[in-house]
């Protein structure tokens, strides 16, 4: 079960050494990482889902549509597959000209 974001402080060298682990934790555990260099905070690492839900200001409906598409695997479609879907939909809904 996912919970609200948790923020952990981490130094840049540790991120460099453990980058894959940091990414996985950001995605799987909804963790935000405050990355510091020489003791000064420089950047934040967070999952795209966290970013979309909490950082980008957009209508809730759009956020739900994006997350629903991702969970359905639609974010992995190629340009050709997307074009084919659009063409197929348009051919089914085409209205006769008057």
Distance, CA of 73 to CA of 89 (rounded, Å): 19
| Per-domain residue ranges of the chain | 1-47, 58-93
Beta strand spans in 21-92 (E): 31-37, 40-45
CATH number for the 1-47 domain, one of 3.50.50.60, 3.30.310.50, 3.40.1620.10, 3.40.50.720? 3.40.1620.10
What is the chain's Cα-based Rg?
A: 20
| pLDDT 10s digits, 35-59 | 999 999 999 999 988 888 888 776 7
With contact defined as beta carbons under 8 Å apart, do 49 and 27 qualify?
A: yes
The model's pLDDT over 3-40, given as tens digits with 9 standing for 90+, comes to 678 999 999 999 999 999 999 999 999 999 999 999 99
Given a cut of 60, whether residue 2 has pLDDT beyond it is no
Task: Report the alpha-carbon distance of residue 39 to residue 2 in Å, rounded.
Answer: 30
pTM above 0.85, yes or no: no
């Amino acid at each position: 079960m996912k919970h609200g974001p948790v923020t952990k402080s981490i130094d840049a060298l540790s991120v460099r050494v453990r980058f894959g682990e940091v990414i996985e934790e950001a995605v799987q555990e909804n963790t935000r990482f405050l990355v510091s260099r020489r003791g000064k905070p420089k950047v934040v690492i967070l999952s795209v889902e966290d970013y979309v839900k909490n950082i980008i200001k957009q209508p809730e409906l759009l956020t739900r549509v994006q997350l629903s598409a991702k969970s359905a695997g639609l974010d992995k479609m190629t340009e050709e597959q997307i074009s084919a879907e659009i063409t197929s939909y348009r051919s089914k809904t085409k209205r006769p000209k008057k």
